[in-house]
Amino acid sequence: MEIKNILHPDCTLCAVQGSSKKRVLELISQIANQYLIDIDQATILSSLTCREKMGSTGIGNGIALPHGRLKDLENVIAIVVTTEKPIDYDAIDNAPVDVFFAILVPENKASEHLGTLAAIATKLNNKETLGRMRHAKTNEELFEALD
C-alpha cells in the first residue's frame, strides 16, 4: 500500500502547537472535516476518542496512530500532524508523542483497516522517514517526507 494513496497534501499539518491529546484529536478531526464535508467534525472526533478509550494508540518512539471507523465514509483517508513539542499521550513506552498519523476507515472495511495500520507502522519504523518528518518545516515537506 502506498501512503500517498490515502494521504492528501491538504491533510498534513507540520509543527503545530499541540497542548494535549484532546486538542490534537480535535485538530485531526477539523482537518478531516475539511476533506470529508459530508461527515461532521463531531462524528469524526467521536470515532477517534471512542477508539482511544479502548486503549492509547501511542505506539512508542514518539508516534501515535489514532484511528476510527466511520459509517458514511467510502475510502480510507489519512491525516498527519506533527507537534512543535511532544505531548503526553499515554503511549505504551510512556514517552511523549510528536508524530500523529491518523486514519479514518469505512466501517465495513475492517480488514483493510488493519492492513493500513500495519503498512503505516512499517513506514514510520524507518528512521530516515521519521527523521524527515520531525525535521519538516512546512506542510509540504511533511507530505514529501512520506514518499
Number of domains in the chain: 1
In this structure, are residues 82 and 64 in contact, taking their beta carbons and an 8 Å threshold?
A: no
Domain, as residue range, for 72: 3-145
The whole-number pLDDT of residue 87 equals: 96
In this structure, are residues 74 and 106 in contact, taking their beta carbons and an 8 Å threshold?
A: yes
- In the numeric block, the cell 508523542 is attached to 97
Strand 97-106 and strand 77-87: the pairing is antiparallel
- In angstroms, how far is the first alpha carbon of the chain from the final one? 12
Q: Is 67 a catalytic residue?
A: yes
Q: From the candidates 8, 67, 113, 135, give the one annotated as an active-site residue.
A: 67
In this structure, are residues 95 and 85 in contact, taking their beta carbons and an 8 Å threshold?
A: no
* Gyration radius from the chain CA atoms: 14
The whole-number pLDDT of residue 9 equals: 93
* 45, three cell numbers: 472526533
pTM (2 d.p.): 0.93
Nearest CA-CA partner of 64 in 46, 81, 84:
81
The whole-number pLDDT of residue 97 equals: 97
Burial zone of 1 (CB within 10 Å; 0-12 exposed, 13-18 middle, 19+ buried): middle
Distance CA 16, CA 1 (A): 27
Residue 68: beta bridge partners?
104
Helix or strand (DSSP H, E) at 47: helix 41-54
The whole-number pLDDT of residue 110 equals: 66
In this structure, what CATH number is given to the domain that contains residue 38? 3.40.930.10
The whole-number pLDDT of residue 72 equals: 87
Average pLDDT by stretches of 10, the chain with 147 residues: 87 92 96 92 97 94 95 92 96 96 88 78 92 96 93
